[in-house]
Amino acid sequence: MNINADKEIFVMASEPLVGYSADDFRKLCNGALSEAELAVLYAEAANKADWLMHDLDDEDADVNTERVFREWSAIEEELRGRIIAILEQEDPEKIRSQIASRIGYYYIVKPFMLRNGFADGNGWWIRNDKTRVTK
């Protein structure tokens, strides 16, 4: 076994966006957003959708869990589309090539997220200054 002791480990300690419904959150996503705002909203939606995806594996997952997961996944997909549109304007050939190679959307949006203050927390988007969405 090869263990890299220098690699940071991130654990999502609590569910993201407790108290927000998908409808409440979607209202925050409407209209024109700066890159920084889009990155924050995408990170929160992606983390929420990923959390819920893990919930689907639990014994007590039910139809409601699936419905809520689908709602948040749709928001994540919409925001990711907006990010990809920005990246496509910057380098259309690169984005088309990445999509064609099936690299995975996480890796396509990663440069956008990094330049907007996020780090890859082993699948979770971690904001460097710990900023979170507030009502």
The conformation of residue 115, written as its DSSP 8-state character, comes to: H
Quick one: pLDDT at residue 123?
A: 83
Which pLDDT belongs to residue 121?
86
Per the CB < 8 A criterion, the answer to whether 135 and 23 are in contact is no
Please, which residues have CB within 8 angstroms of residue 96's CB and are 6 or more apart in sequence? Answer: 88
The Cβ-side half-sphere exposure at 5, using a 13 Å CA radius, reads: 0
Residue 131: per-residue pLDDT: 47
Greatest alpha-carbon span in the chain? 49
Give pLDDT, residue 54.
84
The alpha helices in 1-135, defined as continuous H runs, are 22-29, 35-55, 63-90, 92-100, 105-115
Give this prediction's pTM.
0.84
pLDDT tens, per residue, the chain with 135 residues = 555 555 665 666 678 888 899 999 999 999 889 999 999 999 999 999 999 988 888 788 788 889 999 999 999 999 999 999 999 999 989 998 998 998 888 889 999 999 999 988 888 899 886 545 554
